[in-house]
RNA sequence: GGCCCCGUAGUUCAAUGGAUAGAAUAGAAGUUUCCUAAACUUUAGAUGCAAGUUCGAUUCUUGCCGGGGCCA
């Protein structure tokens, strides 16, 4: 890449001028601000100790050396401690040529490394909601970025298909279901099961209220309400493998999976492998034994097993209960090990909400103490909650934004805007449907991805369905117009306007655009290492914005279009 | 109580320790013979507070004040 070449040249300049070696990694190069001349800026300030000269003189020396010795640097200027470098036309021509002839532009060759990306991780007792959408889009986007960077990526989904929550749905179905099915109810399977989960909660609350009215303490009532006891009993039966219970569990989960599959298909998201917690929840106990053997864990008098992480700034953590039953971290250790066994990765990304920051810190620290060679490659892609203007989403208060509903709303809005603007009069119904989906999904994905993942974000339904401004459809629209130029260039036979060799005739804005494009690719490469879809989103947006800004000043086809 | 994350225009978001803190949206004023006006141009508007580190701090450190989370 161009940037690397410039850095190498700067390094050469320091070697030759000051007999000092600076590595390419430590050289900081940034795009020149648009109010100054130049394309790349090298900040001299940090190197004044080496040059032992003032900023202006240092910049001039380096600039002169570069112009004399690096043929792709055509000129330079120094403002205070900023050395602004201009890249020669020939270099742009070469760069653009290599881009236009490279079908794999932006995609790096395989690097031989495996990375597993776990995301989505739904519970099977209710449908996906807005929070899951942020998770899914982050996971999917990260996977794509990593794949484009040459990693062998395996996308996995660990479904939480067991536990007290699904028993609650099962119980309510048993009582109130009357043999209902998704077909009969005309509901997606996940929505049907979610309905019974809500039903359970209503009954449970009713029972608590009755108990409290009869004089029972509220905490006690919560523990002793008949519904919750029945749910616990059902979980126990499930764990014992009771046939009837397992059959019911399979039936309901089957419906939920069908519903999820539909939602994933709508979102355009797929997985290479599914894990079920029902298959992994017993894992990890052998690792506890191993940890005891290696003296990483210690057993207390009551038989419980602990790990001491005070050296790493954490506290002591329980890894196995005194009665020998597992805690969350136990199964996560086991699942981690199994995942690595299935797909021996160098890196493994967990896309999980930030309420589990501490949990993953603990998990990774344990795996390291156990001497797993892959432990350094474990990464928690932590993201913040999605808030609504009314505040936090709460399922019990019915303020949850359902994923299917939201997706449909986006598609409907796309249709409404598109028809109002009269954009697609020559399209048939199928084509236009594809278009609405592309627009609606683009808007939603961009809206959720443009925010720094770790930050809590606000989802305003009104704004999210707007297609103007800093949105996905803005970028899609710009792309459509760029494509139109290329199309017309071919039909009008003025394609030389787009011939790389004509780059010398392009105006400043156009060259800027090309510059942005090359910059975009290097950002693609760097940001992938930092798992940052938000950075990618910003670059694409900037590019589209630059394009829209300059096109009105230089309409290329003005003359040919009479 | 201990630990973790976040405080930037009215609002929603940007800004590897660098130049005059960028966008979008809402407000005001404009632009359709044009590669599709889902666009473009102009205008006004912000770093919670207080110290410290240094050539330079939205960014790093400490304290305080707010918001959220985790652990009991």
- Note the pLDDT of residue A486: 63
| Residue A163 in tokens | 């536990």
In angstroms, rounded to a whole number, what is the distance separating the alpha carbons of residues A394 and A165?
A: 16
In angstroms, rounded to a whole number, what is the distance separating the alpha carbons of residues A302 and A314?
A: 23
Q: For residue A247, give the 3-state DSSP assignment.
A: helix
- Note the pLDDT of residue A487: 66
Which nucleotide lies closest to A44 by the C1' atom and the CA atom? B18
Q: CA A534 → C1' B14, Å? A: 10
10-residue averages of pLDDT along chain A (562 residues): 84 90 82 81 88 89 93 90 86 70 76 95 94 94 87 96 95 94 96 95 93 90 93 95 96 97 96 96 94 93 92 88 92 96 96 95 95 94 91 74 94 90 80 90 92 92 84 86 66 42 44 50 45 71 74 45 27
Stated pTM of the model: 0.90
Helical pair A226-240 and A164-176, crossing angle rounded to 10 deg? 110
ipTM of the complex, rounded to two decimals: 0.94
Give the bases of strand B that a protein CB approaches within 7 Å.
Answer: 3-7, 11-16, 18-20, 23-25, 34-41, 55-56, 67-71
| Residue A450 in tokens | 């443009």
Q: Which residue is nearest to nucleotide B70 (CA to C1')?
A: A355
- Note the pLDDT of residue A550: 64
Q: CA A423 → C1' B7, Å? A: 43
- Note the pLDDT of residue A488: 63
Which nucleotide lies closest to A46 by the C1' atom and the CA atom? B55
In angstroms, rounded to a whole number, what is the distance separating the alpha carbons of residues A31 and A357?
A: 35
Tally of CA atoms within 13 A in the half-sphere of A100 that contains its CB: 14
Q: CA A423 → C1' B33, Å? A: 20
Q: CA A432 → C1' B38, Å? A: 16
- Note the pLDDT of residue A531: 47
- DSSP H helices, A268-384, are 277-280, 285-293, 328-342, 357-369
- Note the pLDDT of residue A428: 84
Q: CA A560 → C1' B33, Å? A: 13
Residue A222 parent element (H or E): helix A218-224
């Amino acid at each position: 890449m161009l940037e690397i070449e410039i850095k190498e040249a700067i390094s050469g300049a320091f070697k030759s001028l000051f007999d000092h070696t600076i590595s390419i990694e430590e050289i900081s190069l940034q795009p020149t601000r648009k109010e100054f001349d130049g394309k790349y800026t090298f900040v001299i300030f940090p190197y004044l100790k080496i040059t032992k000269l003032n900023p202006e003189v240092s910049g001039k020396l380096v600039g002169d050396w570069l112009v004399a010795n690096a043929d792709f640097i055509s000129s330079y200027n120094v403002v205070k401690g900023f050395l602004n470098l201009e890249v020669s036309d020939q270099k742009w021509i070469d760069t653009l040529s290599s881009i236009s002839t490279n079908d794999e532009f932006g995609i790096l060759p395989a690097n031989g490394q495996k990375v597993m990306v776990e995301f989505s991780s739904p519970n099977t007792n209710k449908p996906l909601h807005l929070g899951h959408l942020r998770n899914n889009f982050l996971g999917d986007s990260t996977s794509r970025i990593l794949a484009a960077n040459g990693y062998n990526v395996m996308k996995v989904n660990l479904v939480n298909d067991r536990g007290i929550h699904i028993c609650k749905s099962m119980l309510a179905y048993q009582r109130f279901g009357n043999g209902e099915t998704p077909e009969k109810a005309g509901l997606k399977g996940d929505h049907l099961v979610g309905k019974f989960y809500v039903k359970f909660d209503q009954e449970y609350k009713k029972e608590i209220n009755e108990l409290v009215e009869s004089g029972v303490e509220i905490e006690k009532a919560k523990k002793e309400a008949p519904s919750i006891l029945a749910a616990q009993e059902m979980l126990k039966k499930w764990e014992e493998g009771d046939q009837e219970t397992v059959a019911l569990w399979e039936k309901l989960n089957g419906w939920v999976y069908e519903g999820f599959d539909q939602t994933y298909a709508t979102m355009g998201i797929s997985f290479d492998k599914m894990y079920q917690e029902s298959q992994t929840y017993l894992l990890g106990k052998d690792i506890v034994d191993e940890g005891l053997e290696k003296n990483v864990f210690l057993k207390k008098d009551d038989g419980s097993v602990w790990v001491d992480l005070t050296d790493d700034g954490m506290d002591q953590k329980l890894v196995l209960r005194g009665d020998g039953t597992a805690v969350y971290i136990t199964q996560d250790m086991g699942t981690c090990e199994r995942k690595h066994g299935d797909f021996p990765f160098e890196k493994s990304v967990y896309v999980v909400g930030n309420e589990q920051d501490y949990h993953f810190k603990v998990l990774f620290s344990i795996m390291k103490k156990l001497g797993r060679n892959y432990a350094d490659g474990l990464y928690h892609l932590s993201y913040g909650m999605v808030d609504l203007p009314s505040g936090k989403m709460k399922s019990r208060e019915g303020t949850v934004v359902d994923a299917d509903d939201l997706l449909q709303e986006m598609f409907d809005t796309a249709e409404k805007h598109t028809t109002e603007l009269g954009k697609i009069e020559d399209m048939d119904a199928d084509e236009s449907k594809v278009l609405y989906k592309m627009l609606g999904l683009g808007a939603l994905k961009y809206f959720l991805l443009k925010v720094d993942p770790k930050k809590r974000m606000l989802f305003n339904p009104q704004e999210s369905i707007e297609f103007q401004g800093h949105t996905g459809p803005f970028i899609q629209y710009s792309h459509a117009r760029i494509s139109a130029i290329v199309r017309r260039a071919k039909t009008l036979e003025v394609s030389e306007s787009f011939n790389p060799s004509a780059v010398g005739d392009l105006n400043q804005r156009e060259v800027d655009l090309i510059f942005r494009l090359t910059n975009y690719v290097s950002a693609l490469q760097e940001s992938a290492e930092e798992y940052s879809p938000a950075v990618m989103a910003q670059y694409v947006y900037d590019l589209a914005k630059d394009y829209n800004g300059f096109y009105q000043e230089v309409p290329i086809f003005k003359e040919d279009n009479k």
